[in-house]
Amino acid sequence: MAVIPQQLKTNQANEALSKTSHQLLYQGKVRDTWRFVLQYLLVVASDRISIFDFVLNALIPQKGEYLTALTHFWLTDVLKDHPNHLIQLTANPNINGINKFRDSIPGLPIERCLLIQDLTDLLVPFELIFRLHIGGSVYNEYLKTGMAGGHTLTPDLPQWSKLDSPIFTPSTKEESGHDVNITAEECLEKMGENSQTLVRTLTTMFADAYRFAEQRGILILDTKFEASSHPLMIADEVLTPDSSRFVDADDWKRAMAEGRSPEFFDKQPVRDWGAAQDTPKGQGIKNLDPENPDDIAFVHGLKVPQLVISAAVERNKIILMRLTGLTLKQYQKDAMGI
């Protein structure tokens, strides 16, 4: 579990909820999860930013709001026919159930909160990664073997080339250290009954989302889902810059012609900054151990430049506007009832 800088553990939501009887269950790299009423959980998206399994000592303004809005958009619009963990108001199925409690918890920033079903013990214990472009962590494997996640691919594809159809390239979900890529066959065997139905459903969801975004000038190169197979239900964040690689469609075409990587509309500016840092173990934060106290202290002592933070903010704005046609404030008012 990544270590969060002490000064970033407390935020407006935590201060509001700490005055109630609700219990903080888990504080992740970006999201805080609270035990709420009945069988429900409250997930609060913070403005924290993580790269290479480290939580940086920096905040991306309104990041949590953008992540919440995007997840809400996909699950209540494009992917609304697939079962998911959102709890909605009975009178308005598009409005998240947390709106019912907005007056009873003073100061709660509901624009970054989602009320969800508790699937904690039901989630598949693997990273469910789907790709329609070959790149990222599986590309070196592909160069060596011609395969990715156990799938045999066309030889000699440049990085980020588009595939004929989405492929499932799962990885382990490690409590410490880095996740390990495994084959789709290995993952399906370990997940057991209903796993093939789950993967087919998620493949369809990814393909539907890809087509929708492509019509709006965005390509979703790959994404990571969280889900349960019994019952089959989508969980956690969905198709956000923290779980997906977005690129501008025209820039991707130019990049393929020029033999370069496209410019990513996600936290790539922060990753690039982290990869360029001189560390006690060489260039790049990726060389450091997220379990080593000295390495953690070194990363927490780094100051992320304002230009890098601004670049990440701008990408969040572009993605939401392109996909929904609305600014953040417009989407929150018109679609989320805020």
DSSP readout, 325-338?
Answer: SS-HHHHHHHTT--
Q: Which residue has the tokens 């495994």?
A: 182
**pLDDT band at residue 4, thresholds of 50, 70 and 90?**
very high
Residues 259-282, mean pLDDT to the nearest whole number: 93
The Cα–Cα gap between 64 and 256 comes to 32
Q: State the Cα–Cα distance between residues 216 and 218, nearest whole angstrom.
A: 6
* Statement: residue 205 has pLDDT above 70: yes
Nearest C-alpha neighbor of 13 from the set 80, 110, 137: 110
**pLDDT tens digits along 5-24:** 999 999 999 999 999 989 99
Rounded to whole angstroms, how far apart are CA atoms 86 and 121? Answer: 17
Q: Which is more confidently placed, 251 or 38? A: 251
Q: What is the pTM of this model?
A: 0.94
pLDDT greater at residue 93 or residue 32: 32
Mean pLDDT, residues 147-170 taken together: 96
Does position 93 have pLDDT exceeding 90, yes or no? Answer: no
For residues 40-63, average pLDDT? 96
Tell me the per-residue pLDDT of 315-330, one tens digit each, with 9 for 90 and over. 999 999 999 999 999 9
Report the percentage of the chain scoring pLDDT > 90. 87
Please state at what angle helix 306-324 crosses helix 195-214, rounded to 10 degrees.
90
Q: Which domains does the chain have, with CATH numbers?
A: 6-121 (3.30.200.20)
Q: Which residues contact 314 (CB under 8 A, 6 or more apart)?
A: none
d(CA 325, CA 338): 17
The predicted pLDDT at position 251 comes to 97
pLDDT at 131 over 90: yes
Distance between alpha carbon 252 and the CA centroid of its chain, in Å? Answer: 21
289: helix, strand or coil: coil
Q: How far is CA 167 from CA 129, 185, 199, 249, 281, in A?
A: 8, 12, 10, 20, 35
Residue 179 pLDDT: 80
pLDDT tops 90 at residue 200:
yes
Mean pLDDT is lowest, of 9-23, 98-112, 169-183, 307-321, for: 169-183
Q: Residue 254 carries which side chain, given as an amino acid letter?
A: R
Q: Hey, what's the torsion of the CAs at 293, 298, 303, 304, to 10 degrees?
A: -80
Q: Average per-residue pLDDT in the chain?
A: 94
Q: Specify the DSSP class assigned to residue 94.
A: T
pLDDT of residue 177: 63
Closest by Cα among 158, 107, 117 to 260? 158
Q: Of the candidates 5, 20, 210, which has an alpha carbon nearest to the alpha carbon of residue 106?
A: 20
Tell me which of 125-139, 171-185, 267-281 is least confident.
171-185
pLDDT cut 70: percent of the chain above it = 99
Give the separation between CA 227 and CA 249, rounded to whole angstroms.
Answer: 28
- Residue 57 binned pLDDT confidence (cut-offs 50, 70, 90): very high
**What does the pLDDT read at residue 91?**
83
Torsion of CA 7, 18, 332, 313, to 10 degrees: 10
Q: What is the pLDDT confidence band of residue 92, given thresholds at 50, 70 and 90?
A: confident
